[in-house]
């Protein structure tokens, strides 16, 4: 961890702007607060990726929240190349003063240097590839900044470090761990599927009872059972006998694929403890 921190800190020295990539379904849970420390004094753009899977109203609320706390944010869907241009234009807005200063020195064609940082699986490599317009980023999940670094050109005046900085996920709070597990931010072997499925079920009953009934062929009364009983009912309806673990994975994967709709699992913080 100390090594990862050192590597990311070193790499950051050479960039004008830091793209902090988070998962739009869990914008707070997929942040690592350490970045506030190592990115201090550095211009930053928060990129809420996988917005295609998140609740659009919640995404807007998060963007407003961050803007109110002096953290410019954009929402994109890198998988389907939606919103990449927003990263470019937001970069120019965030670095407007710097660009002006460079121009005042007589420098034309000011080059801007950027780097992506975030926890595993938020889409750093996909974003890098989209910004570069070709496949350059290898996916790897070892914290730090791996392999030798090179600058890659984008279609704009932004040069990007070819390797994203990887930070480990931070979850002192078990609910954060559960949300990361549900959205694929933690290795599947590191958590109990039934815990995550029960967490998801509770929220889904409140938000999309009909979709739940339809997908798993349960009825409204089934939804009023204690959650473990409901999980057993779903297990039976799926034809998995008593294998609730298998049913839990089915549910988790259905949620991840968006089969029950678009969800944001974090809530916009209400306290004013801006990060």
Minimum CB separation from ligand GDP for residue 259, in Å?
A: 13
Minimum CB separation from ligand GDP for residue 241, in Å?
A: 31
* 126 labeled part of a ligand binding site: yes
Minimum CB separation from ligand GDP for residue 52, in Å?
A: 5
Minimum CB separation from ligand GDP for residue 273, in Å?
A: 26
Closest CA to 21 of 89, 123, 144, 105: 123
Q: Which residue's CB is nearer to ligand GDP, number 62 or number 244? A: 62
Q: Which residue's CB is nearer to ligand GDP, number 89 or number 138? A: 138
Q: Which 3 state secondary structure label does DSSP give 114?
A: strand
Q: Which residue's CB is nearer to ligand GDP, number 23 or number 194? A: 23
Q: Which residue's CB is nearer to ligand GDP, number 76 or number 223? A: 76
Minimum CB separation from ligand GDP for residue 80, in Å?
A: 7
**Calpha distance 90→148 (Å, rounded):** 28
Q: Which residue's CB is nearer to ligand GDP, number 77 or number 266? A: 77
- Token representation of residue 95: 């670095």
Q: Which residue's CB is nearer to ligand GDP, number 122 or number 215? A: 122
Distances (CA, A) of 8 to 39, 66, 70, 120, 237: 9, 23, 23, 14, 48
**First-residue to last-residue Cα distance in the chain:** 21
Burial class of residue 271, CB neighbours in 10 A (0-12, 13-18, 19+): exposed
- Token representation of residue 76: 């994109």
* 165 labeled part of a ligand binding site: yes
* 189 labeled part of a ligand binding site: no
DSSP string, 79-106: GGTBSHHHHHHHHHHHTHHHHHHHHHTT
* 106 labeled part of a ligand binding site: no
Minimum CB separation from ligand GDP for residue 116, in Å?
A: 8
* 50 labeled part of a ligand binding site: yes
* 49 labeled part of a ligand binding site: yes
Q: Which residue's CB is nearer to ligand GDP, number 139 or number 224? A: 139
Q: Cα–Cα–Cα angle for 32, 37, 40, nearest 5°?
A: 120
Distances (CA, A) of 57 to 61, 171, 222, 260, 271: 6, 25, 29, 17, 20
* 133 labeled part of a ligand binding site: no
- Residue 123 · residue 49 · CB < 8 Å: yes
Minimum CB separation from ligand GDP for residue 78, in Å?
A: 4
The residue number with the shortest CB distance to ligand GDP is 123
* 83 labeled part of a ligand binding site: no
> Hunting for tokens 């204690």 — which residue is that?
226
In the complex, which residues of this chain contact ligand GDP (CB under 6 A)?
49-50, 52-53, 77-79, 118, 120-126, 139, 141, 164
Nearest-Å Rg of the Cα atoms of the chain is: 21
Q: Which positions make up the binding site?
A: 49-52, 121-126, 165
Q: Which positions make up the binding site for GTP?
A: 49-52, 121-126, 165
């Amino acid at each position: 961890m100390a090594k990862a921190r050192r590597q990311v800190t070193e790499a950051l020295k050479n960039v004008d702007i830091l793209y902090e990539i988070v998962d739009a379904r869990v914008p707070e849970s997929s942040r690592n607060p350490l970045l506030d420390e190592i990115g201090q004094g550095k211009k930053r753009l928060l990129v809420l990726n996988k917005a295609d899977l998140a609740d659009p109203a919640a995404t807007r609320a998060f963007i407003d929240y961050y803007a109110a706390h002096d953290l410019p944010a954009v929402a994109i869907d890198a998988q389907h190349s939606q919103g990449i241009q927003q990263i470019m234009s937001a970069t120019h807005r965030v670095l407007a003063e710097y660009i002006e200063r460079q121009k005042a020195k007589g420098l034309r064609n000011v080059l801007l240097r950027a780097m992506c940082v975030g926890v595993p699986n938020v889409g750093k490599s996909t974003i890098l590839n989209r910004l570069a317009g070709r496949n350059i980023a290898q996916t790897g999940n070892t914290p730090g900044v791996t392999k030798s670094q090179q600058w890659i050109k984008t279609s704009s005046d932004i040069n990007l470090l070819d390797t994203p900085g990887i930070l480990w996920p931070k979850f002192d709070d078990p609910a954060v761990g559960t949300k990361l597990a549900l959205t694929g931010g933690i290795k599947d072997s590191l958590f109990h599927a039934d815990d995550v499925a029960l967490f998801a079920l509770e929220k889904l009953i409140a938000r999309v009872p009909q979709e739940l009934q339809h997908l798993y062929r349960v009825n409204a009364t089934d939804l009023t059972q204690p959650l473990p009983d409901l999980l057993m009912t779903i297990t039976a309806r799926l034809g998995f006998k008593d294998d609730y673990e298998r049913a839990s994975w089915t549910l988790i994967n259905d949620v991840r694929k968006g089969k029950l709709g678009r969800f944001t699992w974090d809530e916009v913080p209400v306290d004013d403890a801006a990060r």
